[in-house]
Structure 1
């Protein structure tokens, strides 16, 4: 597993220094912070959303606001959620436009309906690597309210989310995300644009919600089938899905002779439909 780190933005390139005499946020080793120093990259990430069909945006982990300031230039209602108290204090001092919109919370534990109610909103950010997949899973839980999602991940994670069947990196995240969103890997970000530089490349992706969020099968069973199949990804589905105790005449179907990485999202839906009448 790659070492995770949390990326924090700066409001100019000099602000990426881990220590500053002018009150910038200090990089915290226990959070694994790496400050984004490239203004062009920050602006490019801000431009990954279409900003169409919604007026509210939530940025996760804004740090010192290198991305935030480009979001604030757009005609949007921008909110940020940040767990680092020092970063919160910095944002409060340097971004008066965010007054009342800086939420010192843990996104994974926070009920965002307290901010947006039932309104549509997009999510964007330079996501902490150690919780990036958890952020995606929570986004899927909130998909009814999130038409767009974009941001920076560890490159391998971003590629995995956007991968298609037939590849070794294709997995649970690929299938579940692509059941509800169109996933696009946009561009790679090198370590050199961070201070201190991480040991891995980063990747930026965009997810655009599909018009129809309904699945032609039981949704909870679909999630269960996908997760169970990939837990033993080297086995055929006939073996990895034995936990469902399916009748032999069902598992004789050719689809059960495949391995999970060979099935597209559509075929996983087909598989779930075959299992559904017999699932407990």
Structure 2
């Protein structure tokens, strides 16, 4: 378990919560589901019973080996070891108990993917960051709210995991609105490194001009995305 803790991964041990996640995913027999973090397989068989195909990926080869033995009866299950956020597979629904250390990378990756919706479990503090307003916003807040409609499903206490994390988690439903490319995401992150400056001074960093004197905190999410697009022109 020590290795998993270093990876920021904690195994969900509540069958009831697992069933709730799968139910909220609204999976049909036409869906291809991508599950990142096979773990001990608490979600995997439940997903297999609902979907046309499940692609389940875990960074730990040993867990994938165990899953291949345990779930050998499911013909619609594809198990892979490696970095799930580098997969080129197409999918319609995303389901994951996201490793805490990979949550930001996951959201940025999902913002670039084409899919219908997903159910994710994230650290409570990270969930709050995703939907933060005004001065509490980060670049990831802008990326998340531009790419997705985000709905909170429920809170999950830390005692529902092994090993227990230090904080509680939140289950979120993300519904895809807009795709973003890597350059746009990178530029939004860069804008936030200058968040104390005015738009006029930010654009100077990129050899662009404007008369807008507002600061980043005074802009709407869409205005920040448009500013990033303007920089990329």
Provide TM-score, normalisation by structure 2: 0.84
Matches within 5 A, 1:89-108: 89-99=65-75, 101-108=78-85
Residue in structure 2 matched with residue 31 of structure 1 by the alignment: 4
The alpha-carbon distance between structure 1 residues 239 and 62, as it changes in their structure 2 partners (threshold 3 A), is same
Residue in structure 1 matched with residue 62 of structure 2 by the alignment: 86
Confirm or deny: 8 A CA contact 1:221 1:272 kept in the other structure: no
1:257 to 189, 214, 218: 214
Residue in structure 2 matched with residue 185 of structure 1 by the alignment: 152
Offset, 1:52: 6.2
Aligned counterparts of 2:50 and 2:29: Cα–Cα separation in 1: 14
Residue in structure 2 matched with residue 166 of structure 1 by the alignment: 134
SS of the equivalent of 1:206 reads strand
Residue in structure 2 matched with residue 7 of structure 1 by the alignment: none
Offset, 1:214: 7.0
SS of the equivalent of 2:93 reads strand
The alpha-carbon distance between structure 1 residues 224 and 88, as it changes in their structure 2 partners (threshold 3 A), is closer
Confirm or deny: 8 A CA contact 1:162 1:185 kept in the other structure: no
The alpha-carbon distance between structure 1 residues 137 and 244, as it changes in their structure 2 partners (threshold 3 A), is same
Gaps of 5+ in 2: none
Residue in structure 1 matched with residue 96 of structure 2 by the alignment: 125
SS of the equivalent of 2:24 reads coil
Question: Which structure has the larger Rg?
Answer: 1
Offset, 1:124: 0.8
Aligned counterparts of 2:193 and 2:101: Cα–Cα separation in 1: 20
Confirm or deny: 8 A CA contact 2:4 2:10 kept in the other structure: no
The alpha-carbon distance between structure 1 residues 71 and 224, as it changes in their structure 2 partners (threshold 3 A), is closer
For these two proteins, the number of residue pairs brought into alignment is 229
The alpha-carbon distance between structure 1 residues 53 and 172, as it changes in their structure 2 partners (threshold 3 A), is farther
SS of the equivalent of 1:156 reads helix
Provide TM-score, normalisation by structure 1: 0.71
The alpha-carbon distance between structure 1 residues 240 and 35, as it changes in their structure 2 partners (threshold 3 A), is same
Aligned counterparts of 2:12 and 2:68: Cα–Cα separation in 1: 19
The alpha-carbon distance between structure 1 residues 104 and 223, as it changes in their structure 2 partners (threshold 3 A), is closer
Aligned counterparts of 2:73 and 2:219: Cα–Cα separation in 1: 47
Confirm or deny: 8 A CA contact 1:58 1:79 kept in the other structure: yes
The alpha-carbon distance between structure 1 residues 188 and 86, as it changes in their structure 2 partners (threshold 3 A), is same
Residue in structure 1 matched with residue 189 of structure 2 by the alignment: 227
Query: Which structure 1 residue ranges, 4+ long, deviate > 6 Å from structure 2?
Result: none
Gaps of 5+ in 1: 1-26
Indicate yes or no: 2:206 matched with 1:244.
yes
Aligned counterparts of 1:43 and 1:270: Cα–Cα separation in 2: 40
SS of the equivalent of 2:171 reads strand
Confirm or deny: 8 A CA contact 2:112 2:179 kept in the other structure: no
The alpha-carbon distance between structure 1 residues 261 and 47, as it changes in their structure 2 partners (threshold 3 A), is farther
